[in-house]
């Protein structure tokens, strides 16, 4: 049987990093999204991910290399189906195994949790962490 990290890796590779927020991103995408330094925001967010998750999903708990929580986007009564990898080489990958929603970084998770576009989620995280949004030339 595959552990969660192996399953996340396989499903992410199979789906080509399909993001659960693609519909929202397409409908709200603006030209200002190109001015967001997604890489800098993600690099700043990954080491802070356990702290961000404690704020975003306060009822969750750390189980090994994962943060396990109830999914606030649906009626979720049992821990175990919504997981975020918080350490190791797959840090930031997340999935709701009940719905099939998944993503590969902190920005996609914030976009999913708060129903934001990728750019809006990046701005929210950048503001929280004090990260410069504009890519350096």
Structure confidence by residue, pLDDT tens digits, 57-70? 999 999 999 999 98
Domains and CATH numbers, the chain: 4-129 (3.90.580.10)
Annotate the chain with three-state secondary structure.
Answer: CCCHHHHHHHHHHHCCCCCCCHHHHHHHCCHHHHHCCHHHHHHHHHHHHHHHHHHHCCCCEEECCEEEECCCCCCCCCCCCEEEECCCCCCCCEEECCCCCEECCHHHHHHHHHCCCHHHHHHHHHHHHCCCCCCCC
* Mean pLDDT, rounded, of the chain: 79
Q: What is the pLDDT of residues 72-124, one digit of tens each?
A: 888 877 888 899 999 999 999 999 998 899 999 999 999 999 999 999 999 99
């Amino acid at each position: 049987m595959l552990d969660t990290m192996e399953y996340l890796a396989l499903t992410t590779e199979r789906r080509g990093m399909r993001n659960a927020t693609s519909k929202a991103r397409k409908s709200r995408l603006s030209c200002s999204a190109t001015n967001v330094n997604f890489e800098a925001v993600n690099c700043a967010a990954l080491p802070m991910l356990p702290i961000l998750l404690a704020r975003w999903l306060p009822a969750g708990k750390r189980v090994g290399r994962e943060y396990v929580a109830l999914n606030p986007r649906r009626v979720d009564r049992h821990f175990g189906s919504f997981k975020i990898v918080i350490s190791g080489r797959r840090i930031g990958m997340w999935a709701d195994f009940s719905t099939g929603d998944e993503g590969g970084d902190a920005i996609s998770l914030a976009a999913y949790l708060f129903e934001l576009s990728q750019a809006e989620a990046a701005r929210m995280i950048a503001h929280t962490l004090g990260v410069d949004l504009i890519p350096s030339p």
